[in-house]
Amino acid sequence: MLRVHRLAREVIGWRLYSVIGYDSLPVNNNVVGLEGTNVDKRTLAAERKQRTFSDRSQLKYARRLVVKLGSAVITREDGNGLALGRLASIIEQVAECHHEGRECIMVTSGAVAFGRQKLTQELLMSLSMRETLSPSDHTREDAGSILDPRAAAAVGQSELMAMYDAMFSQYNVKIAQKEFSKVKQHPRNDFTNLSVSIISIKAKCEPTYLSNANMTAYLNFIKAQVVPCSAAQRYASRSGSRVLQKLTPSERASAIHSLADLLLEKKDLILEANAKDLEEATKGGLEKPLLNRLSLSAGKLKTLSIGLKQIADSSYDNVGRLLRKTKLADNLMLRQVTVPIGVLLVIFESRPDSLPQVAALAIASANGLLLKGGKEAAYSNKALMELVKESLQSVGAQDAISLVSTREEISDLLAMEKHIDLIIPRGSSDLVRSIQKQSQHIPVLGHAEGICHVYLDKDADQAKALKIVRDAKCDYPAACNAMETLLLHEDHLNGALFTEICNMLKQEGVKIHAGPKLSTHLTFGPPPAKTMKHEYGSLECCIEIVSDMDAAIEHIHKFGSSHTDVIVTENDQTAKQFLSSVDSACVFHNVSSRFADGFRFGLGAEVGISTARIHARGIC
C-alpha cells in the first residue's frame, strides 16, 4: 500500500525532489512509541541512527522512500493544471519502487493548480455575454478572492487524489491519504496517528517517529536530488554543462580517466548485467546482428577503456582553443575560439558500449548530455550509467549526463527544442531516418546507412585482396563500417581470385547474393540479391561485376550511402582517381573498411560517422 500525503499552500514553490529513507531522519527522544509495544525508546533511537544518501546511485539501498513533489515540478508553467507527462513518469517509477518492496510516501502539492484550473473555468462560465465579448479580461477582477490558494486547494484536493488513484491503479498499487495543512501546528497525536495508519496499512513497516519540527526541514535534510523524468533531466543537463565548462581541462580529463579505470575495475558487474540483457533479448527473438551489437566482452571493455584514455589525453584544448585571430583595427582584435554546443541528445540502439564512449566525448567537450538507450540494453546501460555518475561525482558534475528512461517517448524528447541543441541518433537506418523526420527544430547529426563497398581493381594484388575482404566482412559484420557489397573487375570473373574469394567467404560462413550482372554470367550461382542498396549487418554480402573503375564509381554513387568505400589496386593512378571521385565520408586505398573508426584513426571513441555534407562529416 502506498501512502500519498498532500501539503497545502505552505509547500508551494518547493523545487527539488528529495528521496530519503526514514531511517535517516533525526529521532526525537521525547516521542512516545506506538501503544501496545514494549520496545525501549532508546533502543529504537539507536537502531535508527542517521544514515545519509549523497546521490541517486545509493537509492537502491533504501527501504523507505519519501518522494517530495513541489508545484514547480508537477504543475505547468502557467500555474494552471498539471504537467501530466512528468507526473506519469514519476508515478511509474514510484510504483516500481513499491513493487520492489520499498515503502513509499509521496508528499505532493498540486491541489492548488488543480483547483485554480477548475475555478477559472467556473469563473469564465459565469461571465455575461458582454463580458465574454469584451477585449478586457474580466476574469481577473474577482480572481483575488475566488482563486485564493486555500480555496483552490480545497476544490482541487479531491480531484488530485482521484487522479493519483487512477494513475497508480494502472500499476496495481493502492494508495492511502494523509493531509497536512500546517505541519508545525499539528499536535503530537497527529504524527502518532500517522505512524499507526502506516503500520495498519503495511504490517511489515517499521514504526515511524517524527518530531514536531516543520516537515519541510525533514524532507530537505538529505538534499539528495533525484531526476525521475526527461522533463527535469533537461534542466539538470543544461546546468551540468555549465558546471563542466567551469572545470579546468585537467579536471575534465581526470573524470574521463576515472571512467576508463572503472570500466576495468567493475567489468564483472558490467558483464553480469550484459548477460541479463542477452538472455532476455534471446528469449524475445532479437535478430542475430543486433545480438552481436548488444554483446559485451572483456576485450571490448579493455579496448573501450583505451579509447576513453585517448579522449582524455587529447581533450585539454577542446574548449577555448584559438582557431583564428584577426586584427580589425588598432586595439581591436577578433578571436574565434571553440565553445561547447550545449545539451546533446544521443539516441542509440543495442550498443551499450556507446554509452561510455559518448559520455566521455561529452565530458571532454563540456557538453550536457541526455542518453536514450534501447530497452534491449536496459541492464547494461544502467550498470554503465552508474560508473559515469561515479566518475562525474568526483568533479562535482554528476547532473551533466543523464540516462533517459526507456519508457520516455522519443517524440516527447524531440519536442524540447529549447532545451536540446543537437540530436545524434546512432543505430539502424530506420531509426536515423525516423529521428530526422520527426525532429523539425533540432539539428540532427547522423548517417542513414552503412552500405560500404570494396572494389577489386584489375590490378589488385590477390593476397592483399583476400585479407582486406575477409577483414571488411568477417571481423565484425554487424558494424556500420563492414563491407556489404563486393565489386569485382570483370577480368577476375574467370580468374583464380574470384574462386578464392568465394571459397574464403564460404569458409567464414558468409551467405553470398549475386548482383544482376553476375547472375547473367553464372548458370548455377548464388541467389540473386533482392536489392543492391541494402545493409545486411550480418554474415551476408552481395557480389557484383563491373567493367572498369568508372563503372564501380557509378555503382557506388547510385547504391552506396556515402559512408566508407575502398579500392584495392596496385595502380597508383587508378587509386588516385578513385579517391578523388568517390563522394563518401571515408575513402580508402588498400585498407579494410573497418578502419573507418575513431579508435583506428587515433582519435579515441567516436559518436558515429556522419554522412552529412555540411559542418560535420566523417568521424565525429
Distance from C-alpha of 565 to C-alpha of 472, rounded to nearest angstrom: 11
Predicted confidence at residue 184, as pLDDT, reads: 47
Predicted confidence at residue 440, as pLDDT, reads: 77
Distance from C-alpha of 423 to C-alpha of 522, rounded to nearest angstrom: 47
Kindly give the pairing relationship between strand 64-69 and strand 103-108.
parallel
Banded model confidence at residue 26, pLDDT cuts 50, 70, 90: very low
Q: Do 452-619 and 2-228 have the same topology in CATH?
A: no
Q: Which amino acid is at 68?
A: K
Which tops the pLDDT comparison, 208 or 573?
Answer: 573
Predicted confidence at residue 138, as pLDDT, reads: 52
Q: Which amino acid is at 305?
A: S
Predicted confidence at residue 173, as pLDDT, reads: 87
> What CATH number has the domain spanning 233-438?
3.40.605.10
CA 327, 333, 338, 341 dihedral sign is negative
User: Does the pLDDT value for residue 320 go beyond 70?
Assistant: yes
Predicted confidence at residue 566, as pLDDT, reads: 97
Banded model confidence at residue 491, pLDDT cuts 50, 70, 90: very high
Predicted confidence at residue 46, as pLDDT, reads: 44
What's the mean per-residue pLDDT of the chain?
Answer: 78
Contact present, 83 and 74 (Cβ < 8 Å): yes
Distance from C-alpha of 358 to C-alpha of 398, rounded to nearest angstrom: 15
537: left (phi over 0), alpha (psi -120 to 50) or beta: left
Predicted confidence at residue 48, as pLDDT, reads: 47
The total number of residues shown for the chain amounts to: 620
Provide the CATH topology of domain 452-619. Aldehyde Dehydrogenase; Chain A, domain 2 (3.40.309)
Distance from C-alpha of 378 to C-alpha of 416, rounded to nearest angstrom: 23
Predicted confidence at residue 487, as pLDDT, reads: 97
pLDDT in tens, 523-539: 777 899 999 999 898 89
CA 293, 294, 300, 302 dihedral sign is positive
Predicted confidence at residue 132, as pLDDT, reads: 59
Three-class secondary structure of residue 524 per DSSP? coil
Average pLDDT rounded to a whole number, residues 584-589: 94
Q: What percent of the chain has pLDDT over 70?
A: 72
Which tops the pLDDT comparison, 329 or 50?
Answer: 329
* Among 206, 177, 176, 210, CA closest to 192: 210
Which tops the pLDDT comparison, 478 or 500?
Answer: 500
Which tops the pLDDT comparison, 209 or 65?
Answer: 65
Three-class secondary structure of residue 191 per DSSP? helix
What's the pTM value of the predicted model, to 2 decimals? 0.59
Cross-strand pairs, 176: 3
Looking at residue 182, what DSSP letter applies?
Answer: S
Predicted confidence at residue 444, as pLDDT, reads: 86
Kindly give the pairing relationship between strand 64-69 and strand 19-20.
antiparallel
Predicted confidence at residue 386, as pLDDT, reads: 94
**Spans of all domains in the chain:** 2-228, 233-438, 452-619
Which tops the pLDDT comparison, 164 or 225?
Answer: 164
Which of 153-162, 167-176, 270-279 is the least confident region?
A: 153-162
- Cell 558483464 appears where? 271
Average pLDDT rounded to a whole number, residues 360-366: 93
CA R_g for the chain: 31
Which tops the pLDDT comparison, 42 or 445?
Answer: 445
Three-class secondary structure of residue 235 per DSSP? helix
Average pLDDT rounded to a whole number, residues 132-160: 65
Average pLDDT rounded to a whole number, residues 245-270: 95
Average pLDDT rounded to a whole number, residues 559-574: 95
Which tops the pLDDT comparison, 565 or 157?
Answer: 565
Distance from C-alpha of 162 to C-alpha of 26, rounded to nearest angstrom: 33
Distance from C-alpha of 504 to C-alpha of 469, rounded to nearest angstrom: 9
The CA-based dihedral angle spanning residues 345, 348, 351, 353, taken in that order and rounded to the nearest 10 degrees: -10
User: Does the pLDDT value for residue 104 go beyond 90?
Assistant: no
pLDDT in tens, 5-15: 443 333 333 33
> What CATH number has the domain spanning 2-228?
3.40.1160
Q: How far is CA 97 from CA 104, 170, 225, 361, in A?
A: 8, 15, 16, 32
Contact present, 399 and 315 (Cβ < 8 Å): no
CA atoms within 13 A on the CB side of 57: 16
Distance from C-alpha of 239 to C-alpha of 398, rounded to nearest angstrom: 11
Contact present, 414 and 434 (Cβ < 8 Å): no
Looking at residue 320, what DSSP letter applies?
Answer: S
Contacts of 62 (CB under 8 A, 6+ apart): 19, 20, 21, 53, 102
Banded model confidence at residue 273, pLDDT cuts 50, 70, 90: very high
Average pLDDT rounded to a whole number, residues 545-550: 96
Which of 154-163, 164-173, 249-258, 270-279 is the least confident region?
A: 154-163
Distance from C-alpha of 298 to C-alpha of 302, rounded to nearest angstrom: 6
Predicted confidence at residue 31, as pLDDT, reads: 35
pLDDT in tens, 377-405: 999 999 999 999 999 998 989 889 998 86
Contact present, 474 and 502 (Cβ < 8 Å): no
User: Does the pLDDT value for residue 78 go beyond 60?
Assistant: yes
User: Does the pLDDT value for residue 63 go beyond 60?
Assistant: yes
Predicted confidence at residue 227, as pLDDT, reads: 39
Which of 108-117, 435-444, 449-458, 574-583 is the least confident region?
A: 108-117
User: Does the pLDDT value for residue 520 go beyond 60?
Assistant: yes
Predicted confidence at residue 333, as pLDDT, reads: 94
pLDDT in tens, 415-466: 788 889 999 888 777 778 788 888 878 888 876 678 999 999 999 999 999 9
Looking at residue 9, what DSSP letter applies?
Answer: G
Quote the strand ranges of 465-591, DSSP E: 483-489, 511-514, 540-546, 564-568, 586-589
User: Does the pLDDT value for residue 47 go beyond 60?
Assistant: no
pLDDT in tens, 463-475: 999 999 999 999 9
Average pLDDT rounded to a whole number, residues 284-299: 85
User: Does the pLDDT value for residue 241 go beyond 70?
Assistant: yes
* Among 559, 419, 435, CA closest to 487: 559
CA atoms within 13 A on the CB side of 125: 6
Average pLDDT rounded to a whole number, residues 300-329: 92
Helical pair 354-364 and 249-265, crossing angle rounded to 10 deg: 160
Alpha-helical runs (H) found in 479-547:
496-507, 516-521
Residue 158: other Cβ atoms inside 10 A: 12
